[in-house]
Amino acid sequence: MKILLADDEPFVREIVVKLLRRAGHTVETAIDGQCALDAFQGGTFDIVMTDLGMPGLDGLALARLIKIRAPAQVVVLLTGAGDDGAVPANVDFVLSKPIGLEALTNALGRLAGLTLIGG
């Protein structure tokens, strides 16, 4: 799958990119929400993964703007705030940080069906 990853923390981006690439995915990164929105305009992605808390355009605002442009786009929210089981509007799946290979693999497996339906 082709994945756009937006996270303002370089270490988190590096770890998640390594996990995704190890699983065979193509990853494009963005250092914040605005950069992710700009990258989204120029490409097609199976999944957009975004950090919740970023300066400027945060993950929820990014998800909303992406869904306005492409309602079927799959959006995954990464959060260090914990997962209370609630999935915010415009988000298809929530993953808690720190993220591990097993959780990421399971999530992507569940999301593969959404990308086939939506894409």
Distant-in-sequence, close-in-space partners of 106: CB < 8 Å, separation ≥ 6: none
Give the pLDDT confidence of 69-115 residue by residue, as tens digits. Answer: 999 999 999 987 655 567 788 999 888 877 777 777 777 777 776 55
Round to whole Å and give the CA distance between 119 and 108: 15
Strand partners, 76: 49, 93
Give the pLDDT confidence of 16-35 residue by residue, as tens digits. Answer: 999 899 888 999 999 999 99
Angle between the 10-22 and 101-118 helix axes, to the nearest 10 degrees?
70
Both ends of the chain: CA-CA distance in Å? 11
Domains and CATH numbers, the chain: 2-118 (3.40.50.2300)
